Amino acid sequence: MNADHSGQPLPSRVRHAPFAGSRGIEAGLTWSQQEIWALIENAGPHDHIYNVVEEFRVPSDVRPTEAQCLEALSFFLSRHESLRSVFPRGEGGRVVQRVLPEGRLPVEFVDVVDTGTHTDEQVTALKEFFGTRRFSFADELPLRLVLLVTKGQVWGGVYVFSHMAIDWHGLRHLADEVTEYFRSGWTLPALEPNTKTPVDLAVWQKSPAGIRKRDRTLGHVASLFRDRTPLALPPAVADLPEGTAYRQAALRSRAAHHAVAHIADSTGTSAAAVIVGATALLLRDLTGSRHVDLHLTSSQRFGRESRSMVATLMQETYFSVDLADADLRQAIKRSWLSAITAFQNSGCDADSMNRLLAELGDGADAPLWFPYCINDRRNLPADGTKPRDVPAASMLADTVLTVLPVTEEEPFYLVVDDGLDHLEFSLTCDIRHVTEAGMESFLRELEGSLITLADSGA
């Protein structure tokens, strides 16, 4: 594989997509952006782990030219303020969001002779090269794009977004918009007049209504943990340097996908509640605690004006459930109610939450700490189909367990993704407390408990 003097894996040409928006404006960060910024700062020189990186293929019936791609980029940069925002430091040194009224996005074009196996290797190299580079938040637009060209047509590429500008749900909405744009004659209807932007949201969060929401969240967390500490990690089983203490593994399961759909349908709960309930029950058994406390990632897309926002809206919310004497069916129902309560009481600025956690813990240097987190990144809207009447266990042969490079050094972090016919549970653990064998056992038991309940006629 050839490389130029910068280490780039393939020779490329740079062209630019100009944009002009309806306004240029500056505001403080939204609550969600504050959470992401804290994670980025804590990651230090490795903050690229919060880049949103993916490869893509253009459908065979839509093969735009380079000029058409640049035109499309200009359209979407002008349409969505989050895509033309930078994050410099304002007065007092605090990071702000600044929407640019105009500018140009550099786009890399790579000429590829064919689209075979060798190209897959090239795409992987491009993801590695562009995805692992830090964004210059103060002056770089939050999008990098590499487009692959064969015979004058763009057939795929790699995108890298800064998580400060977009989350997974916002990215999926943007992808749907892009698809519709190309299929509908290179245009889209204007955004609804009441569609919020991140700047609008930041302003609302400082309003009386936003302050009331913040105070509800603070009150909810205080009510849960005023008299007890959150669920702790199991006792340490190993003594390792911090930099070598984390492992990540993923279980890809058609059986779990089928089982979760079947259980949600038969119990009248959501698939998210099924996954959280099963995870919480295993954590109860792992730790011996009747109370299971989690950070859940809330999409914050509850209102019509926010469902289609191309922005980062997700925030951690504080979940607690009492699972004393519960079986899996009961754990799911209790988790469903606890999750609804958590989501109804979610949303707060970072400073206020940090002050509360310090008060509930042992001060700013030892605040209350939540080691367990679940991030459900599935496409949440149901497709309306019923699970097939076949045993989930019959699909176990298709389950694949893989060891992955560690992307986030978290003590216990379960990420849930979905495909057309499978679920993927990616688990990161601090192996000083949960061994690698324990990680695999947890993932296998999670899958097994779901299959057993589904196939028992739940």
Q: Has residue 5 been placed in a domain?
A: no
Sheet holding 13-20, edge to edge: 13-20, 102-111, 143-150, 153-162, 51-57
Q: Which residues pair with 251 in a beta bridge?
A: 401, 425
Q: According to the model, what pLDDT value does residue 118 have?
A: 61
Per-residue model confidence (pLDDT) at position 10: 64
Answer yes or no: do 108 and 34 share one domain. Answer: yes
Kindly state whether residues 47 and 149 are assigned to the same domain.
Answer: yes
| Of 176, 202, 228, the domain-final residue | 202
Are residues 61 and 29 both part of a single domain? Answer: yes
Does the pLDDT of residue 1 top 90, yes or no?
no
Whether 8 maps to a domain, the answer reads no
Number of domains in the chain: 2
Task: Give the model's pLDDT for residue 281.
Answer: 98
Phi and psi of 17, rounded to 5°? -105, 110
Q: Which residue has the higher pLDDT, 21 or 1?
A: 21
Give the DSSP per-residue string, 281-292: HHHHHHH--SEE
pLDDT band for 205, please (50, 70, 90 cuts): very high
Instruction: Give yes or no: residues 221 and 247 share one domain.
Output: yes
Segment (H or E) for 450? helix 436-455
The predicted pLDDT at position 6 comes to 47
Q: Are 97 and 29 in contact (CB under 8 A)?
A: yes
Residues 73 and 135 in one domain: yes
**Residue at which a domain ends, from 175, 202, 229:** 202
| DSSP secondary structure code for residue 431 in this structure | T
Same domain, 179 and 278: no
Q: pLDDT-based confidence at 431, cuts 50/70/90?
A: very high
Interval 261-293: pLDDT, tens: 999 999 999 999 999 999 999 999 999 999 999
Instruction: Please give the pLDDT value at position 116.
Output: 60
Name the pTM for this structure: 0.90
Query: Which pLDDT band, with edges at 50, 70 and 90, does 92 fall under?
Result: confident
Do 116 and 239 lie in one domain? The reply is no
400 and 276 within one domain = yes
Residue 121 in domain: yes
Confidence of residue 3 (pLDDT cuts 50, 70, 90): very low
Across 123-132, 209-218, 444-453, least confident range:
123-132
> Do 196 and 226 lie in a common domain?
no
Domain holding 51: CATH number?
3.30.559.10
Same domain, 167 and 254: no
Q: Report the pLDDT averaged over residues 71-76.
A: 97
Asked if 356 contacts 222 with a C-beta cutoff of 8 angstroms, the reply is: yes
- Whether 327 maps to a domain, the answer reads yes
pLDDT, tens digit (0-9, with 9 covering 90-100), for 104-145: 999 999 998 765 656 778 888 888 888 889 999 999 999 999
pLDDT band at 5 (very low <50, low <70, confident <90, very high): very low
278 contact partners, CB below 8 Å, separation of at least 6: 328, 331, 332, 446, 449, 450
Question: For the segment 344-400, what is each residue's pLDDT rounded down to a tens digit?
Answer: 999 999 999 999 999 999 999 999 999 999 999 887 555 455 666 789 999 999 999
Q: Which domain holds residue 275?
A: 216-455
CATH number at 323 reads 3.30.559.30
Residue 345 to residues 219, 319, 393, Cα–Cα distance (Å): 8, 10, 38
**Whole-number pLDDT of residue 330:** 97
Tell whether 65 is covered by a domain: yes
The C-alpha atoms of residue 234 and residue 225 are separated, in whole angstroms, by 19
Is 7 a member of any domain?
Answer: no
Q: Rounded CA gap, 256 and 258, in Å?
A: 5
171-201 pLDDT per residue, tens: 999 999 999 999 888 899 999 888 889 999 9
Of the three residues 171, 202, 233, the one that is the final residue of a domain is 202
Instruction: Give pLDDT, residue 2.
Output: 39
Assess whether 166 and 229 both reside in one domain.
Answer: no
Per-residue pLDDT, 4: 43
**Among residues of the chain, what percentage have pLDDT more than 70?**
95
Q: Is residue 211 part of a domain?
A: no
Tokens of 217: 């969240």
Instruction: With respect to residue 439, please indicate whether it lies within any of the assigned structural domains.
Output: yes
Q: If phi over 0 gives left and psi between -120 and 50 gives alpha, with beta otherwise, what is residue 17?
A: beta
- Which band of pLDDT confidence, cut at 50, 70 and 90, is reported for residue 306? confident
Q: Are residues 336 and 221 in the same domain?
A: yes
